[in-house]
Amino acid sequence: MKTAGLGAAIVTAMLTVALVAALVMTGFWYIWRSTEVEAGWRQQAQARWLLGGALDWAVALLQDDGRLQAQIDHLGEPWAQARRDLSPAQLLAQGEVPASAEAADFTLSLQIADAQAKLNLLNLLEGSGLSAPWSEVFTRLFAQLNLPASELDLMQQALLRASAGTGEGASGQAPLMPQRAEDLRWLGLLPATVAALRPHLTVLPGRLPVNLNTADAVVLQAVLGSGPVAMDALLARRRAQPLGSLADAGLGGPGGPAASDQLSVNSNFFEVQTSVQLGSAFRLGQRALLQRQGTVVQILWRY
């Protein structure tokens, strides 16, 4: 009996020790998990704070440009220069972070692009119909990108329905109006078509001209309808010196592209991409659309 009682006591003691160990391990696991969650939230908060600072930096760059050179916008200006993976020391040297942030472990990237270097989707709309001149521009763009003409027709008709909405008298359900280039899928376009258009197309409020100083050859050829020789000459001219006016582009006399509302040498809308790398594992990015009027810059959207 004594032996049996001793054995039962030993088993009970072992079970108690195992239970205590399990409880301790569970407690440690909850503490570790809470610490990791808190660290994750802290990293996100820090990254969002830094992204907000980067966006403020972009606003300041565009405001300075508006004060110093409001008449033209080109790719040689400070706002157009990419800032990639800048360390706190590099940012401190430029006066973009407080001295207390110098020891932080992060890198910051900032890129501002001219939104008017692309074709604006909403240029296609004119009243309750389509703009014939801009429809021709988009026809040339689709041809350059080897995209089916049926996709252009689908995009234009869906855009008209989206513009009309689903009010009384509308036939069928209208698609949502795109807010960004990637939203073109809302109009029923194939994914391959959307991917091909994204580098050359944007969605901006109202009808806006294309900036001759910043647009790429594909967009310029779509707007101007010029051949390769004329395009090379125009690109060489603006590389030598930014175009100060439409006349500097040498596009022809009255009635030609330079006399239309399709071209400009300055811009009011800019796309901003920022990203923050914290440590070696956590990275957070943000995109934004800014509108500049003189020296006043406002954020239209960001995500």
Token pair for 164: 């009309």
Q: Give the bridge partners for 278, in sequence order.
A: 106, 282
Can you give the pLDDT at residue 77?
94
Cα–Cα distance, 168 to 143 (Å, whole number)? 37
The pLDDT score that the predictor gives to residue 95 is 59
DSSP state, 271? Answer: E
pLDDT in the model for residue 194: 95
Determine if the pTM surpasses 0.75: yes
> From CA 300, how far away is CA 288, in angstroms rounded?
7
How high is the pLDDT of residue 164?
Answer: 86
What is d(CA 110, CA 285) in angstroms, rounded to the nearest whole number? Answer: 10
Cα 115 to Cα 24, 196, 224, 287, 295, distances in angstroms? 58, 17, 18, 12, 17
Three-state secondary structure call for residue 108: strand
For the chain (length 303 residues), average pLDDT per consecutive 10? Answer: 65 72 70 62 76 90 87 92 84 59 72 96 93 95 95 95 68 82 93 95 94 94 87 89 87 49 93 88 88 93 91
Give the model's pLDDT for residue 140: 95
Query: DSSP label at 26?
Result: H
Residue 164 host element (H or E): helix 149-164
Burial (Cβ within 10 Å: 0-12, 13-18, ≥19) of residue 273: middle
Q: Give Cβ neighbours of residue 155 (< 8 Å, ≥ 6 apart).
A: 138, 184, 187, 188, 189
Torsion of CA 97, 98, 100, 101, to 10 degrees: -10
